[in-house]
Amino acid sequence: MSQSTDLARAQERFARRQRLVRWRGWLPWAVGGVIVLLAGVIAWLFYFSSVLAVSGVKVAGADTVPVATITQVAAAPLGTPLAKVDLTAIADRVRTIQSVADAQVTRAWPNQLKIVVTERVPVVVVTDGSNFELVDATGVAFKTVPARPVDLPEALVVGTRREVTISSVVKVSAALPETLRAQVNSISAASPDSITLNLGSNVKVVWGSADDSERKAEVLSVLMKRDAKVYDVSAPDLPVTKGEKK
């Protein structure tokens, strides 16, 4: 009895070892199969299923540009799996809106797109005597308004090289210290090289081109300690005043 019992136990231990060996041999295949299955499910869920499809758009940063305009121009592909959406293409479309300086598009899981816009900020209003255009710090005219905004300097720009002249006017305006910019009623420019600042009491500053604008602003700050009608800083190393009171 003892020998037969020992034999049975030995056979049972051998059988268990055999099953363990077989299981260890199949285990990597089983784990691999599970991983492949999970990968397939995840790929289907993200790229083909409607569970994570675009159902709406969130817009942030819009102040003057209507949200409805942004969403319409964005033309987000509703119903498309969120992972397959071309974010760059949407951002490029939104940037075509004149009042938008930049746009960033991100995925807001599980099923939303988020568009963050940066609107253009006007630094000067340009006019040809009838129309008024808001211009940002890059020299882009992005919006026409019916009247001059009271908080922006007005620039009368005429001549054939209008875009270049506007860009020069913006550079000059940006170079002015706040205290001096507040005194500017308007800016006149017939060309990029003939910019004039019109201050109160018929006082004029002949600026010339936008070159050396920071240097010209420094010279003008010193020059305006004199009471004159015309300050000419077009050649900042040789400034001139006219109509100076003695």
Q: Which of 186, 75, 73 is nearest to 128 (CA)?
A: 186
pLDDT at 114: 97
Residues 213 and 168: their CA atoms lie apart, in Å, by 10
Please give the model's pTM, rounded to 2 decimal places: 0.71
The domain defined by 56-119 carries CATH number 3.60.15.10: no
Secondary structure (DSSP) of 128-140 = SSS-EEEEETTS-
Residues 75 and 15: their CA atoms lie apart, in Å, by 66
Task: Check for a shared fold between 56-119 and 122-242.
Answer: no
pLDDT at 161: 83
pLDDT at 238: 93
pLDDT at 182: 82
Q: What is the DSSP letter of 227?
A: -
Q: Which fold has domain 122-242?
A: Rossmann fold (3.40.50)
pLDDT at 32: 58
pLDDT at 37: 63
pLDDT in tens, the chain (246 residues): 455 666 566 556 655 665 665 555 555 655 655 676 666 655 565 666 677 789 999 999 999 999 999 999 999 999 989 889 999 999 999 999 999 999 999 999 889 999 999 999 998 899 877 789 999 988 898 999 988 888 788 898 887 788 889 999 998 988 888 888 888 888 999 899 999 999 988 899 999 999 999 999 999 999 999 999 999 999 999 999 998 776
Domain boundaries defined on the chain: 1-48, 56-119, 122-242
Residue 73's contacts (CB-CB under 8 Å, 6 or more residues apart) are 93, 94, 96, 97
pLDDT at 86: 94
